[in-house]
């Protein structure tokens, strides 16, 4: 077993330091006093990076600037600058100036070019980011950096999260040991105006930017893109992966090498842990639900079915109630758009119990037994389509009174 979850893989323990990365936090007073609301991740010279940004057509100013800078610095950024309290989204041209100025000021202090700094913001949207307060806090932030501040950074990037999300993996290739550490915040796509999904990961393995890019896209596809709370996406979502190469080995440029393979495994495992952590911490979520679809003609149709179920408010309120309402699941499958679906071949399971088949309640179905399963905090809703060998899973939560309360009262 070459990839191991560190003892520190759950959020309660400390994430591992990554050679070549130093981390700092500071109170800048962006929105609330007494919050360490400005975070820096700085990287050793020669660090390579890749990033995945929101697919929303409305991108916040920092997303546009980060994308520009990443390209301009040839995928070798030296500093990630992350503020909470204000998303700098829906702020027009003035917001672009603010994002650029933050990078310029930080770069000047560190003797970097502005394009080596990538800005990230999360918080309220449509309000001007108080850039002077951010800039005033930069010198203290830069002084505060040290290798062991990952946990403070995981706290620093939180907005309405109730707990930090951080984890590490150790992996080895060709006799060398490496580490991968990541932090994440946000309740998935739960609240685009205050809970943008952000994740930052770094390894000391030496991996070329284009290899990082393809491995990150694959890992994100199987993790952050397979969680949903309510189907909404944010204007600020971003996942960044950096490889410092601080181990001093020569750069891995081959996606089929042993190192790339071992790293990919660690990356996928950590991204999945962080992504599931976001769903578990979704405010108003009382249940963590895996929706697992098998027997599809291809993976795409398995995902269509899984997301249609995961986005159904009727299914989500039934999950909240602990009601094994297979009729709602069946109706969601029926509108997922599958061509020539033979409905008599579909089975629905809760954990390992078959609750519906042949278009009707399963013969051995005992409601009290299934209702007991559904009262648990975590459950698996299985769908067997009976038309092929493909499978896919997504992770979601339920719709509760708290979901309405949090999202209805949020700005008041």
Residue 63 to residue 121: CA distance in whole angstroms: 8
> Where does residue 314 fall: left (phi above 0), alpha (psi -120 to 50 degrees), or beta otherwise?
alpha
Catalytic (active site) residue 196: yes
Report DSSP state, residue 348.
E
**Given the complex with a second copy, which of 147 and 327 has the nearer CB atom?**
327
Binding positions for a second copy, 255-284, rule CB under 8 A: none
State the minimum distance, in angstroms, from the CB of residue 303 to a second copy: 16
Residue 388's contacts (CB-CB under 8 Å, 6 or more residues apart) are 295, 296, 297, 298
Q: In the set 292, 326, 370, 381, which binds a second copy (CB under 8 A)?
A: 326
Site string for a second copy, 75-114 (x = CB under 8 A): --------------xxxx--x-------------------
Q: For 147-186, give one letter per residue: b (16+ CB within 10 A) or e.
A: eebbbbbbbbbbbbbeebbbbbbbbbbeeeebbbbbbbbb
Return the residue of 332, 370, 374, 394 that touches a second copy, per CB under 8 A.
332
**Residue burial 229-264, b: 16+ Cβ < 10 Å; e: rest:** bbeebbbbbbbbbbbbbbbeeeebeebeeebbebbb
* Residue 228 lies near a second copy (rule: CB under 8 A): no
Distance CA 293, CA 43 (A): 41
Selected from 135, 222, 331, 373, the binder of a second copy by CB under 8 A is: 331
Q: Which stretch binds a second copy (CB under 8 A): 109-117, 169-177, 186-194, 257-265?
A: 186-194
Shortest distance, position 391 Cβ to a second copy, whole Å:
20
Residue-wise DSSP of 219-283: HHHTTGGGEESSS---SS-EEEEEE--TT-PPPB--TTSHHHHHHHHHHHHHHHHHHHHHHHT-T
Contact mark string toward a second copy, 11..50, x via CB under 8 A: ----------------------------------------
Give the CA distances from residue 358 to residues 16, 333, 347, 349, in Å, rounded to whole numbers and listed in that order. 51, 14, 7, 13
Query: Is 359 a binder of a second copy (CB under 8 A)?
Result: yes
- Residue in 196, 244, 299, 297 with CA at minimum distance from that of residue 49: 244
The strand pair at 238-243 and 360-361 is best described as unpaired
Residue from the set 330, 354, 381, 394 that interacts with a second copy by CB under 8 A = 330
Size of the site for a second copy (CB under 8 A): 60
Verify binding: residue 56, a second copy, rule CB under 8 A. yes
Least CB distance to a second copy at residue 399 (A): 6
Residue 278 C-beta: closest distance to a second copy, Å: 16
58 touching a second copy, by CB under 8 A:
yes
Which CB, 172 or 317, lies closer to a second copy?
317
CB of 310 to a second copy, least distance (A): 12
Among residues 47, 48, 91, 196, the one annotated as catalytic is: 196
Q: Which of residues 119-178 bind a second copy (CB under 8 A)?
A: 125-126
Using CA atoms, how far apart are residues 350 and 380, in angstroms rounded to an integer? 6
What is the spatial distance between Cα 339 and Cα 346, in angstroms, rounded to a whole number? 14
List the one residue from 232, 251, 261, 345 that touches a second copy (CB under 8 A).
232
Taking the complex as a whole, the smallest distance from the CB of residue 283 to a second copy amounts, in Å, to 12
Taking CA atoms, 61 is separated from 185, 236, 372, in Å, by 19, 9, 48
Nearest to 77 by CA among 212, 273, 271, 218: 212
Q: Which of 314, 373, 390, 393 binds a second copy (CB under 8 A)?
A: 314
- Active site positions, annotated: 196
Residues forming contacts to a second copy in the complex (CB under 8 A) are 55-58, 89-92, 95, 125-126, 190-193, 230-235, 311-314, 317-318, 320-321, 323, 325-328, 330-335, 338, 341, 343, 356, 358-361, 399-401, 403-405, 407-412
């Amino acid at each position: 077993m070459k990839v191991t979850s560190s003892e520190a893989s759950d959020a309660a323990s400390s994430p591992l330091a990554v050679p070549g990365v130093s981390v700092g936090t500071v109170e800048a007073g962006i929105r609330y006093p007494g919050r360490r609301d400005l975070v820096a991740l700085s990287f050793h010279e020669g660090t390579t990076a890749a990033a995945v940004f929101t697919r929303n057509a409305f991108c916040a100013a920092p997303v546009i600037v980060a994308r520009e800078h990443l390209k301009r610095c040839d995928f070798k950024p030296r500093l990630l600058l992350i503020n909470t309290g204000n998303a700098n989204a829906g702020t027009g041209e003035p917001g672009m100036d603010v994002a650029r100025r933050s990078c310029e000021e930080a770069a000047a202090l560190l003797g970097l070019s502005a394009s080596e700094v990538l800005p990230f913001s999360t918080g309220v949207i449509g309000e001007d980011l108080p850039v002077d307060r951010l800039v005033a806090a930069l010198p203290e932030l830069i002084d505060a950096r040290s290798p062991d501040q990952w946990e403070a950074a995981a706290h620093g990037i939180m907005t309405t999260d109730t707990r930090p999300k951080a984890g590490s993996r150790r992996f080895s290739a060709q006799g060398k040991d490496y580490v991968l550490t990541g932090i994440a915040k946000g309740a998935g796509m739960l609240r685009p105006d205050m809970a943008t999904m952000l994740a930052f990961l770094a390894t000391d393995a030496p991996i070329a930017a284009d290899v990082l890019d393809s491995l990150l896209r694959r890992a994100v596809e199987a993790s952050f893109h397979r969680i949903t709370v309510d189907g909404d996406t944010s204007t600020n979502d971003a996942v960044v992966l950096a490889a410092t190469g601080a181990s001093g080995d020569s750069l891995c440029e081959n996606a089929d090498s042993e190192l790339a393979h071992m790293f990919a495994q660690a990356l996928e495992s950590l991204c999945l842990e962080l992504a599931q952590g976001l769903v578990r911490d979704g405010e108003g979520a009382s249940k963590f639900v895996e929706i697992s679809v098998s027997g599809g003609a291809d993976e795409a149709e398995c995902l269509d079915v899984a997301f249609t179920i995961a986005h159904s408010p009727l299914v989500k309120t039934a999950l909240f109630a602990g009601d094994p309402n297979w009729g709602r699941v069946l109706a969601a499958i029926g509108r997922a758009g599958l061509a020539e679906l033979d409905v008599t071949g579909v089975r629905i399971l809760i954990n390992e119990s078959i609750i519906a088949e042949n278009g009707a309640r399963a013969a051995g179905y005992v409601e009290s037994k299934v209702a007991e399963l559904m009262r648990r905090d975590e459950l698996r809703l299985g769908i067997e389509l009976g038309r092929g060998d493909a499978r896919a899973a997504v992770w979601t939560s339920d719709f509760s009174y708290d979901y309405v309360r949090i999202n209805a009262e949020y700005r008041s």
